[in-house]
Chain A
């Protein structure tokens, strides 16, 4: 799994590339925690290039989401598709995670 950060206005977009599985999901968690230490407050996690997620990946997203919510900062997860969407649906977390269909929509929602 590869993680890239880019900036759009005040938003930090994390592009996740690869599989979010039991061997590497912790990397995303660690990255977000480091960014929080550096006072980043607005996160967009882009899962466009993620075709596989397991319970560790879902667990990492839950941890990130609950940490950011507690701090009253902003998070949006975007471009969920295929089996990643299915796993989130099976876990009944579609309503729990803040989700948009595209990065543009995520940026728009950040401004609202």
Chain B
């Protein structure tokens, strides 16, 4: 079991760890797509359709996967159709695991994002909603009006089993553990 400090850093920071078990592709299904912005939600549905019906909040799972694919298509591959997005995935009633890889330069602003998010969480812990106004959206020079700048805040919360980049930062692996039904005994 991880100690408390490790647990906190997993929750509050995006990590870079190519050796994370989340990058193990054994037994995972695979699909690849061209970087066509118009088809991001369609590609996502092709993946999510293999998720079992027992998974509740399938809309939320779909949305979270769509965000990661969007990041790969738009920020990674800059919507160049010849560049591929590769997705490895596995679903059952207890978990969802994905690895999404693009052909881009990698998430260069990862440290800046962590710093921004650290300040955001500090402000949230003080319930300073006035101050929060400056920390609701992470922007870079390449951000445009359609970038919400908030997808990764939710991703880090949603992917409760980890959200980890490879060393080149052009692939991200993630795990969601679903709560299991408690069976009555006796």
Chain A residues engaging chain B, CB cutoff 8 angstroms:
21-23, 25-26, 51-60, 62, 66, 69, 82-83, 86-87, 90-93, 95-96
Contact = CB atoms under 8 A, between A and B. Distances in A.
Chain A binding surface SS class? helix
B147 A54 contact: no
Interface residues on B, range: 20 to 34
Nearest to B151: A55
A86 B66 contact: no
Contacts of B136: 62, 66, 93, 96
Given A22-B70, A22-B146, A54 B133 contact: no
Contact of A82 (B59, B124, B132): B59
Q: Does more than half of chain B's interface fall in helix, strand or loop, or is it mixed?
A: helix
Given A53-B63, A55-B67, A66 B133 contact: yes
A67 to B, nearest CB: 11
26 contacts: A21-B41, A25-B146, A26-B145, A52-B62, A53-B63, A54-B67, A54-B151, A55-B148, A56-B146, A57-B148, A58-B148, A58-B154, A59-B148, A59-B149, A62-B137, A62-B150, A83-B57, A86-B60, A87-B60, A90-B154, A90-B158, A91-B150, A91-B154, A92-B124, A93-B136, A95-B127
Contacts, number: 84
Contacts of A58: 148, 150, 154
Interface in B137-169: 137, 145-151, 153-154, 157-158
A83 B60 contact: yes
A82 B157 CA distance: 17
